[in-house]
Copies of this chain bind each other. A is one copy, B any other.
Amino acid sequence: MNNSKSNYIVFNSIGIIQSPYIKSAPYQPLNEDDGEFVLNLDQAYKKGLKDLDSFNYIYVIYYLDKAIRSKELEISPPWENNQQIGVFASRSPNRPNPIGLSVVKIKKIVDNKIFISGIDAFNGTPILDIKPYLDKLDAKTDANFGWVHTTDDTEHLNLHIKGIPHAH
Interface residues of A (CB under 8 A from B): 1-2, 6-16, 42, 45-52, 54-59, 61, 63, 65, 73-74, 84-91, 95-97, 99, 101, 103, 124, 126, 128-148, 157, 160-161
Contact = CB atoms under 8 A, between A and B. Distances in A.
This chain: how many copies in the complex? 2
A88 B128 contact: no
Contacts of A136: 145, 157, 161
A42 B144 contact: no
A143 B147 contact: no
A50 to B, nearest CB: 3
A147 B85 CA distance: 39
9 contacts: A7-B13, A9-B126, A47-B86, A91-B131, A97-B128, A103-B140, A136-B157, A139-B140, A139-B143
Nearest to A92: B131
B88 A131 contact: yes
Contact of A103 (B46, B86, B137): B137
